[in-house]
Amino acid sequence: MGILRPEPMRKVGVLGLTDDREAVLTALHDLRVAQIEPVCAETLQYLEPERASETQRSVGDEALRFRGLKAALPAVPVPQPMRFQDLPAILAAARTVPIDAEVGALVREDDRLQTELKGLRETVTLLGKLAFYHDPLDDLSTRTYLSFLAEGPLDLVDRLRATYPAETEVVTVGAPDPTRAIVLFPRSHADLVGRVLPSSGIRLTAVPALARSVPEETARLEEEIARVTRRRAEIRARLAEISKEWYPLVAALEEALSIQSRLFEVYTKLGRGPNTFAVEGWVPKRELDRLRAAIERVSSGRAYFYLVPTHEEPPTLMRNPAGVRRYEFFIRFYSLPQATEWDPTIVFAIVFPIFFGLMLGDWGYGLVILGISLWMIGGFPGGRYVPRVLRNFVTRIMSPPAMRQLAYALIPGCAIAVGLGLYFDEFFGFAVLHTLFGYTAPFSPLVDVGTLLVIAGYIGVAMVTFGFLLGAIKETLHHHPREAVAKVGGIIFTWGIALFGLYVIHQHGFSGSLLYPYLGVVIAGLVVLLVGEGGFGIMGLIEIVSHILSYTRLVGILLASVVLASVIDLIGTHLPHHFPAEFVAVGIFVGAIILVIGQAFNVVLGVFEPGIQGARLIFVEYFSKFYTGNGRPFRPFGSERAYTAPPEPPGGTPSGASPLGPILRAPEP
């Protein structure tokens, strides 16, 4: 893995005998290091494209069959993986499984009973609401009337009378509970049922067509529920018996057939001859030796492994250290880097927490956001107690897995915010350390604004310079000399305009011995930029200045947070003094509410503003100097095996051993 670089990729090919095709593809599947691509045009000059066969369709049907069986059977422990030597062995084993008809009948019956049980329980619940009606239910099932249970507010009957005109002859049967009533509509006015709008607060439910009284029908339905429940238990017991005998084989065959289906999908990308085949794909450079060894082993040295010369853009595989890998989420969200350009994840992982912590700058807010982040990482314990409106709002913005990724990324930034907040003595806007311990902060964001702006300016100069440097190296490596010259001109102009601007501010005017040398640096950068980009370089000058100044938002957001916290504290703590003496308690209560709501609002801003603006400063002001993006992700061919073992190569292996065992377990360099 190179610094700031995606994993180097190589396009490789394997030319082998048709008899070894399945073994070679199985090895590629189990190693999961190659993204299979259609063979190139040069290879197809000597071979033909592979086509689908009847066997492929048969395997697809069998895979679907065993996928259904596995889903229907309760899972049981599988003692050890099974090995099928080839496709005929898989299909022969599949023909020995005779449980389809019985399992299918049991599952269909269970589905029917589940639907029936749901309907019975809903009817019992409805009868519970009709407990106030003591006559036989078939009295409500007449040829002239439709009967409904009406539910609504306390003034339900009055609302019903206001909703329907008198000439419709709507008859209401009252109940002890004023929120429920039975409504009888003449069948000649059946269209009235749709007149009940949600805005009226009335809900209508059809009275079930039953004969006896509510208690009698309830008892009968409870017996039906018990019968259905017993039958479903019998079905589950029978499925468990079948599963105990057949599940290991079913699971193994399902996995083997699924793998075989994936192999057949790859067949369409192969080239074939009368007795040969060819497969090509992208492989990480450091996996070449391991892949070559696997191919030689399963083919007994009969397959030829070769590198494919190509100018195609490889797929992108980012491999960063474990802690840095958390920030790949942000890079993928923006755009995946191309395989031949820089991977900016490491820089993002270093800079983003610094930006976030600097813009937050309060150890109270930092601790709260840190606690929320740990709560999200822990799986949102007690999340059911969060108001549903808030939960829906948050999940609409971001899914739970994405929120956990964000939480991991915010933890270092929260730690920096806590450290800076202690240094600034900022705790929800209060100087707590000064009050408790007499600590005098050596630096105050509100007092030392000028110093903070200078620091932000230097950060901007550093980020813009580093972006141009990466761009210059990239263009040089890609043999684009003019673009590389333009990037160098951007670096010169960046430093020239920064030094010139700071010198003018420091000297309070356009004078001094260094004024013209600094102005000369600005002009030199302009000339080099114009040489590289031509007339478009003028636009680049404006962009450079705006990008440097854009980093002053680091200070602006920090000051906004500090000022807002101070205003909230001022209002909340001084409000009780404006109440009469007899209402001081009310003032204290109202002030506390203002403090809690205001600080909670500032916490929300403390997540969104530093997070969004910190990422923006990297995405726009930094990435624009070197980053292209739009890379295609590396998708290796293969899947995990849980119930099967790879087939043995010619010559066999020790009992129970995998022919790829040493290769599959090879440590990564």
Please give the full DSSP string across 24-76, using - where no structure is assigned.
Answer: HHHHHHHHT--EEEPPPHHHHTTSEE----HHHHHHHHHHHHHHHHHHHSPP-
**pTM of the predicted protein model:** 0.78
pLDDT reported for residue 170: 61
pLDDT reported for residue 106: 96
Q: Judge whether residue 198 has pLDDT over 80.
A: no
pLDDT reported for residue 265: 87
Mean pLDDT for the stretch of residues 323-334: 90
1-51+268-317+633-641+649-669: what fold? Alpha-Beta Plaits (3.30.70)
DSSP calls for 111-137: HHHHHHHHHHHHHHHHHHHTTT--S-G
Tokens 């703590």 found at: 573
Gap between the Cα atoms of 392 and 406, Å rounded: 18
pLDDT reported for residue 131: 87
Task: Collapse the DSSP code of 618 into the 3-class scheme (helix H, G, I; strand E, B; otherwise coil) and give the result.
Answer: helix
Mean pLDDT for the stretch of residues 493-510: 78
111-225: what fold? Alpha-Beta Plaits (3.30.70)
Q: Judge whether residue 662 has pLDDT over 50.
A: no
Tokens of residue 221, six digits: 């339905």
pLDDT reported for residue 190: 67
Mean pLDDT for the stretch of residues 436-440: 90
pLDDT reported for residue 586: 87
Tokens of residue 191, six digits: 């269209």
Mean pLDDT for the stretch of residues 405-413: 92
More confident residue, 370 or 542: 370
Highest mean pLDDT among 141-150, 389-398, 506-515, 617-626: 617-626
pLDDT band at 56 (very low <50, low <70, confident <90, very high): confident
Tokens of residue 92, six digits: 């022969």
Taking the CA atoms of 337, 338, 344 and 345 in sequence, report the sign of the dihedral they define: positive
Mean pLDDT for the stretch of residues 601-621: 92
Closest to 343 (Cα-Cα) out of 362, 327, 365, 361: 327
Gap between the Cα atoms of 371 and 271, Å rounded: 57
pLDDT band at 644 (very low <50, low <70, confident <90, very high): very high
pLDDT reported for residue 470: 94
More confident residue, 102 or 529: 102
* Cα end-to-end span (Å), the chain: 9
Task: Collapse the DSSP code of 619 into the 3-class scheme (helix H, G, I; strand E, B; otherwise coil) and give the result.
Answer: helix
Q: What's phi and psi for 38, nearest 5 deg? A: -60, 140
More confident residue, 45 or 71: 71
Cα separations in angstroms, 638 against 21, 261, 444, 669: 16, 11, 57, 21
pLDDT reported for residue 43: 81
- The Cβ-side half-sphere exposure at 616, using a 13 Å CA radius, reads 12
Please provide the average confidence, as pLDDT, over all residues in the chain. 87
pLDDT reported for residue 73: 95
Tens-place pLDDT, residues 248-296: 999 999 999 999 999 988 888 998 888 999 999 999 999 999 999 999 9
pLDDT reported for residue 154: 75
pLDDT reported for residue 667: 37
Q: What's phi and psi for 9, nearest 5 deg? A: -115, 150
pLDDT band at 169 (very low <50, low <70, confident <90, very high): low
Q: What does the radius of gyration of the chain's CA atoms come to, in whole angstroms? A: 36
Q: What's phi and psi for 113, nearest 5 deg? A: -65, -35
Taking the CA atoms of 291, 294, 298 and 299 in sequence, report the sign of the dihedral they define: positive
Percent of all residues in the chain with a pLDDT value above 70, rounded to a whole number: 91
The CATH 3.30.70.120 domain(s) of the chain lie at 1-51+268-317+633-641+649-669
Gap between the Cα atoms of 306 and 267, Å rounded: 19
Q: Judge whether residue 623 has pLDDT over 90.
A: yes
Cα separations in angstroms, 237 against 45, 231, 241: 60, 10, 6
Q: Judge whether residue 92 has pLDDT over 90.
A: yes
More confident residue, 32 or 667: 32
CB within 8 Å of 592: residues ≥ 6 apart: 572
Gap between the Cα atoms of 299 and 236, Å rounded: 46
Mean pLDDT for the stretch of residues 106-117: 95
Gap between the Cα atoms of 229 and 222, Å rounded: 10
Mean pLDDT for the stretch of residues 636-646: 92
Task: Collapse the DSSP code of 184 into the 3-class scheme (helix H, G, I; strand E, B; otherwise coil) and give the result.
Answer: strand
**Of the listed ranges 170-179, 439-448, 522-531, 566-575, the one predicted with least confidence:** 170-179
